């Protein structure tokens, strides 16, 4: 359930856009509810965001699944992202991933048993 405080914050973002462009606030709305939910989004929260903004649910799902800043399952407090695209792969990204997996004792997409660190699944290059 989206709290009153979150709704107020979303409304502040909605005020920045024309009334016909409520979809423009979806990024901010998802960030707000994700932060309030302990760092991840549930399907129910995404549905509530869609209903609150008056946009199709699929429009919210598209944004939540496209951007790596949104998590659809609980994650650690700290997130490690390693680019594995072709340029970084040629520069040794696989070796870096293997090293981090060994050091943390987890694989890509997993979180350490203490819940502190998540090794995020493949990221696009952050230095692009």
Return per-residue pLDDT of the chain as tens, 128 residues: 899 999 999 999 999 999 999 999 999 999 999 999 999 999 999 999 999 999 999 999 999 999 888 999 999 999 998 888 888 889 998 999 999 999 999 999 999 999 999 998 777 776 65
CA–CA gap between residue 20 and residue 53 (Å, rounded): 11
The answer to whether the CB of 30 falls within 8 A of the CB of 41 is yes
In the structure encoding, which two tokens stand for residue 56, read together?
Answer: 């199709």
What pLDDT score was predicted for residue 56? 97
Residue showing tokens 């340029």: 87
Q: Give the residue range(s) of CATH 1.10.10.1590 domains in the chain.
A: 4-66
- C-alpha closest to that of 55 among 88, 27, 80, 22: 22
Output the pLDDT for position 71: 93
Task: Indicate the SS3 state at residue 119.
Answer: strand
How many whole angstroms separate alpha carbon 96 and alpha carbon 109?
15
Residue with tokens 């107020």: 8
CATH topology of domain 4-66: Arc Repressor Mutant, subunit A (1.10.10)
């Amino acid at each position: 359930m989206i709290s009153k405080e979150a709704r107020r914050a979303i409304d502040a973002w909605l005020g920045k856009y024309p009334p016909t462009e409520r979809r423009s606030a979806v990024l901010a709305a998802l960030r707000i509810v994700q932060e309030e939910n302990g760092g991840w989004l549930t399907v129910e929260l995404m549905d509530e965001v869609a209903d609150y903004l008056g946009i199709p649910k699929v429009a919210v799902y598209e944004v939540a699944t496209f951007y790596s800043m949104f998590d659809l399952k609980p994650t650690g407090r700290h997130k490690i992202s390693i680019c594995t695209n072709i340029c970084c792969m040629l520069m040794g990204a696989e070796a870096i991933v293997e090293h981090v997996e060994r050091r943390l004792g987890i694989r890509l997409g997993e979180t350490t048993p203490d819940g502190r660190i998540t090794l995020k699944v493949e990221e696009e290059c952050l230095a692009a």
